[in-house]
Amino acid sequence: MAEGLNLASATHIPWSHPRICVLGDVMIDAYMWGKVRRISPEAPVPVVEITRREQRVGGAANVVKNLHALGAEVDVISVVGTDSEGEMLEQLLAEISNPHLERDGSRPTTVKTRVISGGQHVVRVDEEATHALPSDIQHKVLDSLGRLIASDNRPDAVILEDYDKGFFSESLIEGVLQACEAYDIPVAVDPKLRHFNHYRGVALFKPNLKELNEGLALTHPVHPGSREAMECAVETLMDRLTCQRLMVTLGEHGTWIHAPAEGINHEHIPAIPREVMDVSGAGDTVIAVAALMLASGASPLAMAALANLAGGWVCERVGVVPISKAELEREAVRVPLSHSLTS
């Protein structure tokens, strides 16, 4: 198990002013709060009298929000529709990042609207299209990335945040990875099933346990309690993707990290005991912290430990709440390990 991990003696977070580029499916998380006083006469459904509305960034844009809270300069490359929602999303992103958004008239901007009454979700309405991007839009995305990484403000790391809404395709992924490799920029991936096997040779691949099982199409899903089965599954996936580091988030069981080229072999980092209130957004926080650690040259073990800690912190809050760099430094003393964050 994890040896020599002591963040309590090394709570200084090893990044100052990093620059990270996020590519992926951005969206608006819209909320409508109201009161239910009666049932509709038209159908046996509640009538919600709306009293408040709010629009927040969601999907890959929530990773951007996390990176911003952690002190990073963030570029985001994505695609939205030619609609008012796309304009709104660009405005929201401009408050926390440098947005490079292409417009695609063949799809709406993805919006997930949640109607809430009395603290309970009444219904969620999704407006989206998940077909692949047209080839000309894909070329524009790659051109945006090419200009960015060839500039004086090139990113220290790139995150591919796949929400399976059509942004990524095999050809786009290949183009992104080739461009980043040419400039020696590490890539971290938060995958979804459709393109699970296309992210080859990346610096960090971060599925959760469900995605690990589904991505390998395992007849008998593995569980963290079975170390032998976990090791076999992780090694199978690493061999398939030839990635440098494989980090599997395990929910209440913590995090699994495997980076044999750096001497880290199947380390299981348990979760810190917490009162879990809401798991929303935890995965976005984990990949944000992990990418910042990757950009800082931190060891895989320190990366996994700090990302594990940050994801747990988020679960203690209701709603999608990003952790700040100052809060993360204060939290780091909770991890009983002797491993430097900068080693």
Which residues are tagged catalytic? 284
Under a CB-based contact definition with an 8 Å cutoff, are residues 215 and 193 in contact? yes
Residue 233: name the closest of 251, 255, 252, 258 by CA.
258
Nearest-angstrom CA–CA distance, 245 and 257: 7
The answer for residues whose C-beta is within 8 angstroms of residue 288's C-beta and 6 or more apart is 63, 66, 67, 70, 159, 310, 322
Backbone angles phi, psi at 312, to 5 degrees: -65, -40
Length of the chain counted residue by residue: 343
Find the helix packing angle between 60-69 and 84-94, rounded to 10°: 20
| β-bridge partners, 101 | 78
SS3 of 278-339: the string is CCCCHHHHHHHHHHHHHHCCCCHHHHHHHHHHHHHHHHCCCCCCCCCHHHHHHHHHHCCCCC
Distances, alpha carbon 103 to alpha carbons 47, 98, 182, in Å = 36, 16, 27
Say if strands 246-249 and 255-259 run parallel, antiparallel, or are unpaired: antiparallel
Element (H, E) at 36: strand 26-39
Nearest-angstrom CA–CA distance, 292 and 322: 14
> Residue 243 is encoded by which pair of tokens?
């990635």
